[in-house]
Structure 1
Amino acid sequence: MRTLSHVLADTLLSIYRREQYPAESNNTNSFQGLQELGLIQPDYTGVWQLTETGRQTASRLLKR
């Protein structure tokens, strides 16, 4: 299982802040890593969204 690297944390926070969306980015490996960690998932239309775990993780990162 992957750990949350600085790159993944930055990408997660960008998605959380709605500054970046997986469908619009070239960071395929980062989004794949976030999905493997269960932090993002596709919604019913296929657009990537934060999971509840992803929201909680991003919130904790912001409090640091």
Structure 2
Amino acid sequence: MRSLTPSVRAKAIEIANHLQEQGLPNQKEVISMSIAEARNWARQRTAESSFQAVLDRI
């Protein structure tokens, strides 16, 4: 998780905590899944803000 930005790292931790609460016992799997989901969240957030910037120019 060191290579993640602070906001993506925080989201990955949030997701990992949620997955553990749901009962996923494999810590490596939880970490892997949470990082992937946090990166998807960041990409989506970036795409939405880029789209909004285009709309603001119109």
- The TM-score range, normalised by the shorter chain, is under 0.3
- Structure richer in strand, relative to its length: 1
Which structure carries more helix by proportion? 2
Structure of larger gyration radius? 2
Using the size of structure 2 for normalisation, the TM-score is 0.27
